[in-house]
Amino acid sequence: MATESLLNFLVNKLGEMVIDEAQLQLGIGNDIVFLQNEFSGLKAFIQKSDRMRNHDEVARELVIQVRNEFFKVEDVLEEFLFQMKIIRSKRPTSCLDFKVCIHYIPFLFKQLTLQRRFHYQVENIKKEVGEIIKRQKMFLQQFEAGREGLIHDEGTFDPSCMSSAFMKERDLVGIEEHVKTLVDMVLEEDEKVGCTNKIISIVGMGGVGKTTLARKVYHTVRNKFQSSAWITVSQAFNHKDILACIKQEVVHCSADTTSTTINSLQKDIREHLDGKRYILILDDIWDLKAWEFIKVALPMRSHGCKVIFTTRNAKVAKPIREEYFIYKLDKLPYQCAYHLFCREAFINYDPPRICPSYLRDVVDRMVIKCDGLPLALITLGALMSKRGCTMLEWVNILENLSWEMSNDPHLERMKTLLLTSYNYLPSQMKNCFLHCCMFSEDYKFNSSDVIRMWVAEGFVVSEGRKTAEEVGAAYLLELLERNMVQLISSSMINDSTVFAYRVHDITREVGIHVIEKEQFAVSMNNWHDVNDDCISSWRLGHRFVTWLLVG
């Protein structure tokens, strides 16, 4: 869980301060050693509680208390170091001269006062930590007397095991016929010259593969058109931003939204597309208002032009006064679902992608729980590819899924599967994943930017000869391999390849659920929403402010 990563950060920081204490004689050595020992012990409890299915309310409350103590210690340490730096920067450098020695006394008094205050604050933290440890021991005794937890060790993470295959878009099983049908529809010539744009709406529930299907069709046919554009609309769309994206795609130049009006953007797009045969993809469209606004920018009558919607809403698939065709994308039948799951779960087995006979029954039950949803099948399959191959391990995870589905009415079936994948992430990657979920829906982030953010936040540190940036790059690849983030595009910038990623909207909803539950961040619309609960959150601490904008 996210708290374990925070404690790793704190224990390492305390270790560095022990060295600083020996070098600088700050007078707080015993207190630092105590905090380091106590929080090392609490880290072990956090690891154990994370294996107890992360469901028990007592364990969850204890974890929250541990995290709050972390924040207190971090604040106390930073305040002490900051004040000590001010005192030492102003004090005389030598006290050999009597007059200088007299001036040195006030600074010595301030330093002693600061040390006493630090010691007093640590004593208060000691008492609070002591109470947590008592509750922790009682809880562990009760838990050990009952049923053992279901989540086992996360296993080691070896970036060298990653395959470059994950840098390419996954092919969905059973999608070939859908692609062929839609390609034929897109390329067919309209009977009437000068007819209006023909709209093809791919409709289906979240995670069923609408975007993947549309992207396959788009990449297959785009060279047949004079102009093409792929636009992700999402729920919280901005009219000007969407038009700017369309202009950038069709005109191949960036649009300055600060100095450009909506009318001028619509005019530029319309003039560029006039008389051309084009294809426009509007991915994840939730509201017909977005289409009504976009179509103003399109030529009224263009021969052979196509617009493709992907949407969960059947009403959105039927725009008024437009020629449209609805293509319903259903869940995968069992055999296709089984094949897709095995392709992901047994990629490293011998023979590859084939389920061992002793796991067949467990795999059958897992596939049934995924309910024919490709996103769930790929995500759960990617998770199982990282686990052991013993029957006990697979049964434990299956039972964990069953527990989640029966005990959390707020999570839909697929979200429960994705939550399980989050729970099984190596602890050091959980903060990185949650940080990605803090971006707005369908936001595209590039690899170099997000890795620098992780390093700045302290989520990623150097390991051995690897720099923090190299470790962060390995984490991002691991998240991609586990299907927790999706690769959208790649581009060359200054002779280096930069990859653009996003988090699937359903996966992001699961991340937001965890963020709110663990108080990793606070969601708000404006400063009027700030209250005491917000200030207690690490994301809104005195060190930095991060906004998670919704709506």
- pLDDT tens-place string over residues 410-451: 557 777 778 888 888 887 899 899 999 999 888 899 999 999
Identify the pLDDT of residue 161: 35
Q: Where are the extended beta strands (E) located within 216-260?
A: 227-232
pLDDT at 134: 77
Please list the alpha-helical segments (H only) found in 386-467.
391-407, 413-423, 427-437, 447-457
- CATH superfamily of the 176-328 domain: P-loop containing nucleotide triphosphate hydrolases (3.40.50.300)
pLDDT confidence of residue 452:
93
| Alpha-carbon gap, residue 361 to 202, rounded angstroms | 34
Query: Consecutive 10-residue runs of the chain (551 residues): their mean pLDDT?
Result: 55 55 53 70 63 57 73 76 76 54 68 80 80 75 53 40 38 82 84 60 89 93 92 83 89 70 90 90 88 86 83 83 85 92 88 88 92 87 86 88 67 75 84 92 89 88 88 92 85 77 87 83 59 50 38 35
Q: Tell me, what's the pLDDT at 160?
A: 35
Residue 131's pLDDT is: 80
330-360: pLDDT as tens digits? 889 999 999 999 999 998 887 788 899 999 9
| Residue whose structure tokens are 């002793």 | 358
Do 280 and 270 touch, CB atoms closer than 8 A?
no
**Per-residue pLDDT, 15:** 58
Choosing among 2.40.50.140, 3.40.50.970, 1.10.10.10, 3.20.20.140, the CATH entry for 427-540 is 1.10.10.10
Hey, where are the domains in the chain? Answer: 2-145, 159-171+332-423, 176-328, 427-540
Query: Looking at residue 119, what DSSP letter applies?
Result: H
What pLDDT score does 236 carry?
73
**pTM of the prediction?**
0.62
User: Buried b / exposed e across 332-360, counting CB within 10 Å, b at 16+?
Assistant: beeebbbbbbbbbbbbeeeeeeebeeebe
The values of phi and psi at residue 274, to 5°, are -60, 125
Q: Which residues contact 76 (CB under 8 A, 6 or more apart)?
A: 118, 121, 122, 125
Q: What's the CA gap between 433 and 449, in Å, rounded? A: 14
